[in-house]
Chains A and B, each alone.
Chain A
Amino acid sequence: MNQRDERLSFKTVSGIDASDQNRRNFARLSWQCRRGMLELDILLQGFLQREFANLDTEQIQALERLLEMPDQLLLEYLMGRTIPIDKEVVDIVQHIRSAVNHPS
């Protein structure tokens, strides 16, 4: 329930075609979501496709920090086996995990 509530409280910002900068940002992040493991591809690319338009600047920055992590650690986080230290990264991980099963 908590994850669901949190996800619904996210503020909607401009859509992905609002500007070229936004398109570039989306494309750059989507390439960062291309990883060495299928599990990560599905979780990250699916999340970005569905939720990018709803992410605010802080959340995008947290996502960028998450994507800097090596693949094995990312998998640990996204499968819920390890909790990141960075609070905002924790939030984005929860967001990704809830979005995979409850696409909006």
Chain B
Amino acid sequence: MGDIDSIASSNLVTLARRKFDTLVIGAGGGGLRAALQLSQADANVAVVSKVFPTRSHTVAAQGGMNAALANVLPDNWHWHMYDTVKGSDYLGDQDAIEYMCRAASHLVVELEHAGVPFTRLEDGRIYQRAFGGQSQNFGGEQAVRTCAAADRTGHAILHTLYQQNIRAKTHFFDEHFAVDLILDDDGYVLGALTLEIETGELLLIEAKTTLLATGGAGQLFRTNTNAHINTGDGLAMVLRAGLPIQDMEFFQFHPTGIAGKGMLITEGARGEGGYLINKDGERFMARYAPKAKDLASRDVVSRAIAVEVRDGRGCGANGDHVFLKLDHLGAETVHKRLPGICDMVTTFLGIDPAVEHIPVYPTAHYTMGGIPTDRDGRVVAPVNSGEEPVPGLYAVGECACVSVHGANRLGGNSLLDIVVFGRAAGNDINEFLTANRYHRPLNDASVEQALTRLARWDRTGDGESVSQLRDELQSTMETYCGVFRSDEVLKEGVDEVLALEKRLEGAVLQDHSKTFNTARIEALELENLMELAIATVCSALERRESRGAHSRIDFTERDDVHWLKHSLFFKEDRRLDYKPVRMKPLSVESFPPKERVY
């Protein structure tokens, strides 16, 4: 340890430093929307991104963005609000949900003016499509609310925001990895220590305000739909800064991902008449949902698949998946009605789904939990019996938990979330910058702490490999904290994850070169995932109810008396705390919890 400390101290003297008004970590839609708001107001903004900005995960969002424009059918923001509250299984904060739904139409028009080529109706207005979970008139007929730019809405929004940021002279640090937040003794966030991946050089970015927009943590699970970059870096930085993260037990799973790979096979396949079978060829959904069978809701189908596999009725050499059967539909129907699925299955599995079955397993899709914020994007932490903003720290997008998604996110609300709260955070940061005109003095102790953590990976000798541990962590999370949750399984999960954390301490890098050392970045990402795995499994163990995406086989019902509250997980002592859901909207009546039936 002595050696590592001295390395950290010598680095502190020679450390390169830059100063900005605002540091944005993450260049997806949330980070870029906030950066744009700030750069346009002449703030000096740095955006740090570990990959080239337009390769952020926002690019993968295909569905669209909800806004009650009422271009196709009657609609209004209040109906959208109702659907979002109900979709969240009443765990969403109703003030934030009202704010988001009211702002939605304005934000779509604003994006349009910035250059997003939304698809048009024949009369020239913005096209909208129907999506699950949307209703007219508070639970009535299907609503048509999702605005889309063909099937590449996220791509269009991300590229537009990037180009507008270039125009507004936002400063980009591409391929820089953020290591840790820097704080002073009064709890102000002063910026972050970053690492340039190409050169291996460290750069300390001092900022009056820091915004985390690092996306979700889908890589926690072996089977997931997320890009490999989604390792929850911002959430882990917050935990290490001594702050809590919220509602981590809520992770959205989609029932049919390609087994072992994770890519989504949409509900369309089952909608066309495809169904799931186990190793005995049994159409097992008939046992779990006699009426709806394979078209039961996502959580029911996901859980059924997990039970089949766990009870030894899984398919394949390892019995670790089930099959999606389409061959009975005939080649013409399969190829004509499901071309996207055919392309994907042919490319990744080398099989024709009209002839062979598709191996599937539930796939982790979206992190509902995250860094607790208020509706201005300010990160909040408990103080006495209430909560207060952490001065200088903001978070938006999937890494944040406002909470507008509560226990379950609706399709079309994630792109909306990032632009609404990206803009809101930008506005609040502007006000903060007006009131706080100077940088606070740097806190060397906090920088040294980050340097020491980094220097740990300079150790040589024998030790376990990072990639092996990451694989084991992902499998462990899938087995013990996936869709099949019970007290017994989760307790085992806690033990397993803590054992992995212990083993991570002994991991060693084989490659110690400075330039383009991607192995070091992957080690730092694994440390981040490990923090979040512990937070997730501990939060899930404590929540003794089933709500939204968190489904317990030993507590099958929602329990509003005891559990209508947000969880807060702290790294120190792995402590859990709780805070009330904000049931009071800004201007309308509250939506009280009701049974969630579709």
A-side residues, CB < 8 A to B, are: 20, 23-24, 27-28, 30-31, 34-43, 45, 70-72, 78-81, 97, 100-102
Contact = CB atoms under 8 A, between A and B. Distances in A.
A36 B261 contact: no
B42 interface: no
A38 B516 contact: no
Contact of A37 (B59, B175, B198, B515): B59
B261 A31 contact: no
Given A23-B513, A42-B261, A45-B228, A35 B348 contact: no
B344 interface: yes
B101 interface: no
Contacts of B58: 36
> Which has the most chain A C-beta neighbours within 10 Å: B55, B56, B59?
B55
A103 to B, nearest CB: 11
Contact of A35 (B51, B224, B262, B517): B51
Given A35-B51, A38-B226, A101 B349 contact: yes
B51 A38 contact: no
A19 B504 CA distance: 30
B434 interface: no
A55 B319 CA distance: 37
A34 B344 contact: no
A70 B54 contact: yes
B32 to A, nearest CB: 13
Contacts of A70: 54, 59, 155, 159
Interface of B: 51, 54-60, 152, 155, 158-159, 175, 197-198, 224-229, 261-263, 343-344, 347-350, 511, 513, 515-518
B59 A36 contact: yes
B513 A39 contact: no
> Which has the most chain B C-beta neighbours within 10 Å: A30, A37, A38?
A38
A31 B175 contact: yes
17 contacts: A27-B516, A27-B517, A30-B518, A31-B197, A31-B516, A36-B58, A36-B60, A37-B227, A38-B224, A38-B262, A39-B263, A43-B347, A78-B347, A79-B347, A97-B347, A101-B350, A102-B350
A72 B348 contact: no
A38 B159 contact: no
B198 A36 contact: no
A80 B228 contact: no
A39 to B, nearest CB: 6
Nearest to B54: A70
A22 B325 CA distance: 45
A71 B55 CA distance: 7
A12 B350 CA distance: 26
A100 B225 CA distance: 18
Contacts of B513: 20, 23
A32 to B, nearest CB: 8
B55 A36 contact: yes
Nearest to A35: B55
A38 B152 contact: no
B518 A38 contact: no
> Which has the most chain A C-beta neighbours within 10 Å: B158, B261, B348?
B348
Nearest to A27: B516
B347 A80 contact: yes
B56 to A, nearest CB: 5
Given A31-B518, A79-B344, A72 B155 contact: yes
A41 B516 contact: no
Contacts of B227: 34-38, 40-41
Contact of A24 (B158, B225, B515): B515
Contacts of A35: 51, 55, 59, 227
The 8 A-B pairs of least Cβ separation, nearest first, read A101-B350, A36-B59, A27-B516, A37-B60, A41-B228, A79-B343, A71-B59, A72-B155
A28 B198 contact: yes
Contact of A38 (B56, B155, B263, B347): B263
Contacts of B55: 34-36, 71
Contacts of A97: 347
Nearest to A101: B350
> Which has the most chain A C-beta neighbours within 10 Å: B54, B224, B228, B518?
B228
A23 B513 CA distance: 10
A37 B229 CA distance: 9
Contacts of A27: 516-518
A23 B517 CA distance: 9
Contacts of A42: 261, 263, 348
> Which has the most chain B C-beta neighbours within 10 Å: A24, A34, A100?
A34
Contacts of A39: 263, 344, 348
B155 A71 contact: yes
B51 A31 contact: yes
A101 B511 CA distance: 30
A42 B55 CA distance: 15
Contacts of B263: 38-39, 42
Nearest to A40: B227
Given A38-B227, A38-B263, A28 B51 contact: no
Contacts of A30: 518
A27 B522 CA distance: 12
A57 B166 CA distance: 33
A62 B228 CA distance: 24
Nearest to A31: B518
Contact of B60 (A24, A38, A43, A78): A38
Contacts of A20: 513
A28 B516 CA distance: 6
Contacts of B175: 31
Contacts of A24: 515-516
Nearest to A37: B60
Contacts of B158: 36
Contacts of A101: 347-350
